Structure 1
Amino acid sequence: MEFDYYEILEVSRDANSDTIKKAYRKQALRYHPDRNQGDKETEEKFKQINEAYEVLSNAEKREIYDRYGKDGLKGMAGGGFSGGFDFDDLGDIFSSFFGGGFGSSQKGSKSRYKYALDIEIGLTLEFNEAVFGCEKEIKYRYKTPCQSCNATGSKDGKKQTCPKCGGSGKIGIQQGFMQFVQTCPECSGTGESIKDKCPECSGNGFNEISDSIKINIPEGVDNATRIRVSQKGNRYEDMSGDLYVRIVVKDDEHFLRNGDDVYIEIPVFFTQAALGDSIKIPTLRGDTILDLPVGAKDKQQFVIPKEGVKNARTKQLGNLIVQISIQMPKKLNDEQIELLKKLQNSFSVKSGEMATDKGIWDKIKSWFS
């Protein structure tokens, strides 16, 4: 697909190299596949961004592109888009996710970002809030570079090379005839040291700001669901990370959720189970009627379609599974005892005998023959 390199980076044709680099970082962070997993359109956009930057960040290729377009690049030895991109910039992109450097071949190369840009916080919901959705106000804190020290953490805005590790961020430890490499304890792996800490940020290089935001929780979210709020994470220069809200759902007193299906146990009196009955039971959205067959069994389950949770992605409704628990009377008066005895006799069940097929005795006797 044909596209313009300047348009894809959203810069003017007379933009200088710093503007192009800044625009590339912004676009690459926004469309990085790790932040848009499974999105083929975003993945293609990410490739276009890197193709544009590879050309526009190279003075020779940019001049040819400006004069002849992409066709002019095809004739260059080793020209055109190779699918690669600047490793320092790639390190900046990854460090925004994981807070550390990545892949730079330069000794002592440092991440552009001082901290991860994305934030994740937990949000606890009531059972019904997760099922039906709601609006929640979230209070959280995000990081922003300290303006007093220009994000250096140093009172005078300057940093020195760490004298212990020489700026590498690592030191060697000799144990017997073996030598191990570990993170420099003096500079915590940054390769830099501060003479006097900035009083504004206590030497961190950033300040934390309290903020709040209202978000809509969709129907059907469940434990471990992550909701992404774009551009509400940590800030650094012209970049903003995303805020991820991880859902925790409280248990309900009566309903038990399994995916989109919901279970409930309903107490049923033994006469209702024996005779069969139509009883009113609760569902997530109101009452409904459960028809019990004659001779319903204890722990028997009945499925009521589309009375479960609406799937947050497909919008399909799960089922309500009703399990009955047969309740027996704890006490009987004389009249009830007499009535139950008559009922027992009507089924030819004799006191002192098992209420089962007598052929069981013949089966047991066969074990010993």
Structure 2
Amino acid sequence: MAHYRRTKLLILLCALCYILSAIAAKSYYDVLQVPKSASDDQIKRAYRKLALKYHPDKNQGNEEANKRFAEIINAYEVLSDSEKRGIYDRYGEEGLKQHAASGGRGGGMGVNIQDIFNNFFGGGPAEEEEKIVKGDDVIVELDATLEDLYMGGSLKVWREKNVIKQAPGKRRCNCRNEVYHRQIGPGMFQQMTEQVCEECQNVKYEREGYFITVDIEKGMQDGQEVVFYDDGEPIIDGEPGDLKFRIRTAPHDRFRREGNDLHATVTITLLQALVGFEKTIKHLDEHLVDIGSKGITKPKEVRKLKGEGMPLHFSNKKGDLYVTFEVLFPLKLTDEQKSKIKAVLG
């Protein structure tokens, strides 16, 4: 009886795990960040961009990126195949598994990830595809505060750009050269090239504005970019460029950044320099850093405080804080003060 109860409990736990994993799993459309109604070209463009972004060569040691890359490859392998996509849309992943088990073409079984990637980025048939026209990338220099770069934050930025809208009338579009052969005699053929175009709705550009939220990640360096794909300048019969916010550290009133290190200058009196002092400085997240001394501090002396610098991007480590001490000398001394100093230091 006890064995039966344990077996029943195990079955229930397995069923619960399966249900939770099914709920948590992203759809293939979510993985590629496209709507369910996306065209083949939209799916192809989304795959190309995401696969480049999360490719292991660009994200060495980043397990999360490697996991995303595998998800992207798997999603594209299904959605780029009309038969598999139809099965997935109707029956989901379970339908693909049954299709594969019944002798279909796989539902992801036996897929060579590198072959799929090569088809787009070298060494495969993609090299023979006609190059897609792309609009201009827009690069914006974005000043980020040291506080945001230290703790992470976000900035709202107003963006204005051209947007393609429908206009009255029709136009020639999607023009391409097609090759055909014409017989000019017995066993003789002439190769001919003809431009073939489609008829599309006419379009026009209109100016629109909206706010974009730019996320600043902890430890980002000057020159790093936050990219909004397809949000650059549009182009008719092509894909839009990208919008890139290039990070630039804004000046700060207490700290100066050099790579992953911070530098600060603190002024102390001559008395403090000679006999020691207790002092703290407020850091970027407002925690207090003890910079006091019990000994003598020389003018221009630099003290290194390990681990009090900037966080490294995608790391738990931090740089160092370097504090330079300026000693404030008195403008003048009385004869009595001079005598006392001579008595002490003489």
Under TM normalisation by the shorter chain, which class is it?
0.5 to 0.7
Cα-Cα RMSD: 4.9
Partner of 1:329: 330
Matched residue type, 1:157: R
Partner of 2:303: 302
Looking at structure 1, the residues matched to 48 and 208 of structure 2 have their Cα atoms a distance apart, in angstroms, of: 23
Partner of 1:4: none
Looking at structure 2, the residues matched to 335 and 53 of structure 1 have their Cα atoms a distance apart, in angstroms, of: 90
Partner of 1:353: none
Looking at structure 1, the residues matched to 152 and 49 of structure 2 have their Cα atoms a distance apart, in angstroms, of: 28
**Cα distance change, pair 147–114 in 1 and its aligned pair in 2 (3 A):** farther
Partner of 1:338: 339
Partner of 1:127: 146
Instruction: Say whether the 8 Å CA contact 1:119–1:243 is kept in structure 2.
Output: yes
Instruction: Say whether the 8 Å CA contact 2:134–2:239 is kept in structure 1.
Output: no
Please say if 1:42 is aligned against 2:68: yes
Matched residue type, 2:295: V
Please say if 1:158 is aligned against 2:172: yes
Looking at structure 1, the residues matched to 101 and 46 of structure 2 have their Cα atoms a distance apart, in angstroms, of: 21
Which secondary structure does the structure 2 equivalent of 1:321 belong to? strand
Compute the displacement of 1:22 (Å): 3.7
Higher strand share: 2
**Cα distance change, pair 142–104 in 1 and its aligned pair in 2 (3 A):** farther
Compute the displacement of 1:313 (Å): 2.5
- Percent identical among aligned pairs is 15
Compute the displacement of 1:138 (Å): 0.6
Partner of 1:249: 249
Looking at structure 2, the residues matched to 282 and 254 of structure 1 have their Cα atoms a distance apart, in angstroms, of: 9
Partner of 2:164: 145
Partner of 2:188: none
Compute the displacement of 1:242 (Å): 5.9
**Cα distance change, pair 240–67 in 1 and its aligned pair in 2 (3 A):** farther
Looking at structure 2, the residues matched to 251 and 48 of structure 1 have their Cα atoms a distance apart, in angstroms, of: 45
Give 1:4-83 correspondences, 5 Å limit: 21-22=40-41, 24-29=43-48, 31-34=50-53, 37-38=58-59, 39-48=65-74, 51-52=77-78, 56=82, 69=100
Looking at structure 1, the residues matched to 317 and 174 of structure 2 have their Cα atoms a distance apart, in angstroms, of: 60
Instruction: Say whether the 8 Å CA contact 2:135–2:238 is kept in structure 1.
Output: no
Partner of 2:264: 264
Looking at structure 2, the residues matched to 19 and 226 of structure 1 have their Cα atoms a distance apart, in angstroms, of: 28
Instruction: Say whether the 8 Å CA contact 2:268–2:327 is kept in structure 1.
Output: yes
Instruction: Say whether the 8 Å CA contact 1:276–1:292 is kept in structure 2.
Output: yes
Which secondary structure does the structure 1 equivalent of 2:74 belong to? helix
Instruction: Say whether the 8 Å CA contact 2:276–2:292 is kept in structure 1.
Output: yes
Looking at structure 1, the residues matched to 81 and 174 of structure 2 have their Cα atoms a distance apart, in angstroms, of: 35
Instruction: Say whether the 8 Å CA contact 2:231–2:242 is kept in structure 1.
Output: yes
Instruction: Say whether the 8 Å CA contact 1:9–1:52 is kept in structure 2.
Output: no
Looking at structure 2, the residues matched to 57 and 31 of structure 1 have their Cα atoms a distance apart, in angstroms, of: 23
Looking at structure 1, the residues matched to 238 and 101 of structure 2 have their Cα atoms a distance apart, in angstroms, of: 30
**Cα distance change, pair 238–211 in 1 and its aligned pair in 2 (3 A):** farther
TM-score normalised over the length of structure 2:
0.56
**Cα distance change, pair 239–115 in 1 and its aligned pair in 2 (3 A):** closer
Matched residue type, 1:277: F
Looking at structure 1, the residues matched to 301 and 316 of structure 2 have their Cα atoms a distance apart, in angstroms, of: 29
Partner of 1:351: none
Give 1:199-348 correspondences, 5 Å limit: 201=204, 206-229=205-228, 232=231, 243-284=243-284, 285=286, 287-345=288-346
Runs of 5+ unmatched residues, structure 1: 1-6, 11-17, 59-64, 75-79, 95-101, 150-154, 168-190, 193-197, 346-369
**Cα distance change, pair 250–146 in 1 and its aligned pair in 2 (3 A):** same
**Cα distance change, pair 301–104 in 1 and its aligned pair in 2 (3 A):** closer
Which secondary structure does the structure 1 equivalent of 2:252 belong to? coil
**Aligned pair count?**
268
Instruction: Say whether the 8 Å CA contact 2:28–2:79 is kept in structure 1.
Output: no
**Cα distance change, pair 300–86 in 1 and its aligned pair in 2 (3 A):** closer
Matched residue type, 2:271: T
Compute the displacement of 1:229 (Å): 4.7
